[in-house]
Amino acid sequence: MDIFATGMTFGLMMGGILSLTVLGISVVYGITGVPNFAIGLIGVIGGYTAWYFTADIGITLAIFLGIAVCFGIGFLLQIILLTPLSKKGADATLFFIITISLGLILQGLIRIVFPKPQISIELPRIGNITIAGVSADGVKFLALAVAVVTLVLIRFLERNSKFGKMLQGTEQNLKLAKLIGINTSLIFALSHGIGCSLAAVGAIFWGSIYSLNLSTGWNLAFTGYIIAVIGGIGNIWGGLLSALVMGFVISFAGYFLGGVWQSVVLYSIVILVLVIRPRGILGSERSI
């Protein structure tokens, strides 16, 4: 029972951390249809920004600044580069090459602007939380709470606000959305900004629990996309569900088999799920 409780608890923590990046990916891809493989590096920029300005303006304002910087990057990236490419008929392969190249550019810029190779972010401590007799730092569970609240907020806005209706219209029928006067380019840009902001929050939590470096951005993006595809690419409920499932898989595989087996078990399950359900657990109306 203790083993099960420990595995479930640490699975929740890992799933919560991963789910923030996955939600960012799902928002971006679900609305724009564009796979941005640089989203992890953009999130890491938010983490480094928060770390850099903490001493000057305090951790709370520094976090909001890091999130705002990532929103701006995502917004401008969509307006300046990705929307024009979409209008020219760019496909997923071209977006993959361009966003990977963009990630490499961002990686170089991070090295120039933030020369420290690895950082840790000190979030305010909120004490330990005990679940089923297993105690852990509350910050580790806060990431999951933020992800769930964000998902609920997105769904609430979709159903109860003009902006949400425009999001739904753009996602469901782009041509019709344009015909009824929705500024789809602006919706794409706002969605991309929101997605990159979520990636920043995920990177900040990761940096507070573990640490941040240049490889973190690639790892978060790569793992995030795999988890998003498992849940149903663009499906935010599927993304959250698959993040939790993968968190449990990583936790139990590491506990019973050792860390070297985590990747073997994780990606074996990925292949199995996609063979059975190619569009993911909850399905997706898009294919990557």
Q: Are 71 and 196 in contact (CB under 8 A)?
A: yes
**pTM of structure:** 0.86
Strand partners, 15: none
What contacts 203, CB < 8 A, 6 or more positions away?
Answer: 21, 40, 43, 44, 46, 47, 212, 216, 217, 220
pLDDT tens, N- to C-terminus, the chain (288 residues): 466 666 677 777 778 778 888 888 888 888 888 889 999 999 999 999 999 998 889 888 999 999 999 999 999 999 999 989 888 888 888 988 999 999 999 999 988 888 777 888 887 766 666 665 656 666 667 777 787 788 788 778 777 787 777 877 777 677 777 777 788 888 889 999 999 999 999 899 888 888 888 888 898 888 888 888 888 877 778 878 888 888 888 877 777 777 677 778 878 888 888 888 878 777 665 444
Q: Among candidates 215, 239, 183, which has minimal Cα distance to 27?
A: 239
CA max distance for the chain: 58
> From CA 209, how far away is CA 95, in angstroms rounded?
32
Q: Which CATH class is domain 2-115+134-276?
A: mainly alpha
